Amino acid sequence: MVDDAAEDDTIGSFPFLMPKVSPKTPDLYLCTPIKVDPTTSYYIVGYKPNATMNTAHHMLLYGCGEPGTSKTTWNCGEMAKSTEEETGSPCGPHSHSQILYAWARDAPKLDLPDGVGFKVGKDSPTKYLVLQVHYAHIDKFKDGSTDDSGIFLHYTEKPLKKLAGTLLLGTDGVIPAMKTEHMEAACEITENKTIYPFAYRTHTHGLGKVVSGYRVRTNDKGIQEWTLLGKRDPLTPQMFYNVENKSPIVTGDFVAARCTMKSTRHRATQIGPTNEDEMCNFYLMYYVDEGEPLEMKYCFSQGAPYYYWANPDTGLHDIPHIEASTL
């Protein structure tokens, strides 16, 4: 058995940083890619944010099959107006895409559990990494200053058995004017796998009040037990937090998420990419202790007014309606 000190020698650190950019417009989302060596499998085991000068509002790390464009940097905001020429998503339109890390102001560094890593490169659909940095304010750049915010990726080439994955639950739908609405999604785990949840992240725009995520399991009496994975005010820093309950999620369990949205607008609000629109996302980060992570990367519903947990065809009952919407 190799002792820990010797094992630590196998951990490398790769600085994945913005190439000295100088944002000219406020509220800008910028992306920059790196191609992962396709002949080698790497396992990312931790992330250390390098957000310099307090300029970055938040950062996301995407694993992609192809990057959104071939440029060295591009405007890739979900709020981006498609009329500008250098816009594009972080990942290519039909490529593999998943979020591997999220950082927001005041967030501590994230270490994956011992022996757990995200596999990238060879034998992985992740062939590129794309760093997205959101610059909310640009006063610091007026004098021509540049920024190299980014992430130090801690990685090993030593094969890890426990592979990490992320599952994104989200909805489509509409929030009516002057109403509180529940946007809900749920999926059954049908793959023959056991997953071990360890972190979660919530995301909405301005109308989100509470986002909650659950594991739902039917006990021998036929009653569904809803176990809270995580719940928070989505307008607090949108990073990954430790789950409330690390119990395994097995075949036949459901994962379920709800966003409680409160609109004081005099118009309906659609789910969509811009600030005028709304979003409902709950990310679950987990690992498997053998084999590959889930093939299911996304769990999306039509959302309100079409889809609710309480619909007769969802297979869900014993719903904790009050708990799921209160902090």
- The pLDDT assigned to 30 comes to 93
Asked whether residue 126 falls in the same domain as residue 188, the answer is no
What value does the mean pLDDT of the chain take? 91
Q: Is 57 annotated as a binding residue?
A: yes
> 26 vs 118, which has greater pLDDT?
118
Q: Which of 18, 154, 182, 203 is catalytic?
A: 203
Asked whether residue 135 falls in the same domain as residue 229, the answer is no
Residue 168 near residue 285, CB atoms below 8 Å? no
* Residue at which a domain ends, from 140, 160, 180: 160
Q: Which of 59, 182, 205, 239 is catalytic?
A: 205
* Residue at which a domain ends, from 133, 160, 187: 160
Is-catalytic flag, 57?
A: yes
* Residue at which a domain ends, from 112, 133, 160: 160
CA distances from 249 to 197, 222, 243, 244 (A): 7, 18, 13, 13
Residue with tokens 């796998």: 193
Q: What is the pLDDT of residues 48-73, one digit of tens each?
A: 888 765 677 788 999 999 999 999 99
Q: How far apart are CA 194 and CA 253, in angstroms?
A: 10
Q: Could you give the percent of the chain with pLDDT greater than 90?
A: 73
Question: Does pTM top 0.85 for this prediction?
Answer: yes
Residue by residue, what is the 3-state secondary structure of the chain? Answer: CCCHHHHHCCCEEEEEECCCECCCCCCEEEEEEEECCCCCEEEEEEEEEECHHHCEEEEEEEEECCECCCCCCEECCCCCCCCCCCECCCECCCCCEEEEEEEECCCCCEECCCCEEEEEECCCCCCEEEEEEEECCCHHHCCCCCECCEEEEEEECCCCCEEEEEEEEEECCEECCCCEEEEEEEEECCCCCCEEEEEEEEEECCCEEEEEEEEEEECCCCCEEEEEEEEECCCCCCCCEECCCCCCECCCCEEEEEEEEECCCCCCEEECCCCCCECEEEEEEEEECCCCCCCCCEEEECCCCCCCCCCCCCCCCCCCCCHHHCC
Q: Which of 98, 132, 154, 183 is catalytic?
A: 132
- The pLDDT assigned to 9 comes to 60
Q: What is the pLDDT of residues 226-264, one digit of tens each?
A: 999 999 999 988 889 999 999 999 999 999 999 999 999
Q: Is 53 annotated as a binding residue?
A: no
Asked whether residue 141 falls in the same domain as residue 13, the answer is yes
Residue 26 pLDDT level (bands cut at 50, 70, 90): confident
Residues belonging to the chain = 327
- The pLDDT assigned to 89 comes to 87
Asked whether residue 141 falls in the same domain as residue 178, the answer is no
Rg of the chain (C-alpha set):
20
Indicate if the pLDDT at residue 136 is higher than 90.
no
Asked whether residue 177 falls in the same domain as residue 228, the answer is yes
Looking at residue 199, which CATH number applies to its domain?
Answer: 2.60.120.230
Output the six-digit token pair for 36. Answer: 């992962």
Is-catalytic flag, 266?
A: no
- The pLDDT assigned to 8 comes to 54
Q: What is the pLDDT of residues 84-123, one digit of tens each?
A: 445 678 999 888 998 899 888 777 777 899 999 999 999 9
- The pLDDT assigned to 52 comes to 61
Asked whether residue 210 falls in the same domain as residue 243, the answer is yes
Asked whether residue 228 falls in the same domain as residue 261, the answer is yes
Asked whether residue 225 falls in the same domain as residue 125, the answer is no
Asked whether residue 98 falls in the same domain as residue 242, the answer is no
Asked whether residue 152 falls in the same domain as residue 167, the answer is no
Is-catalytic flag, 132?
A: yes
Q: Is 182 annotated as a binding residue?
A: no
Q: How far apart are CA 224 and CA 226, in angstroms?
A: 6
Domain that holds residue 110: 4-160
| Total domains, the chain | 2
Is-catalytic flag, 96?
A: no
Q: How far apart are CA 132 and CA 78, in angstroms?
A: 11
Q: What is the pLDDT of residues 177-219, one digit of tens each?
A: 999 999 999 999 999 999 999 999 999 989 999 999 999 999 9
Asked whether residue 91 falls in the same domain as residue 144, the answer is yes
Is-catalytic flag, 317?
A: no
Residue 163 near residue 255, CB atoms below 8 Å? no
Is-catalytic flag, 279?
A: yes
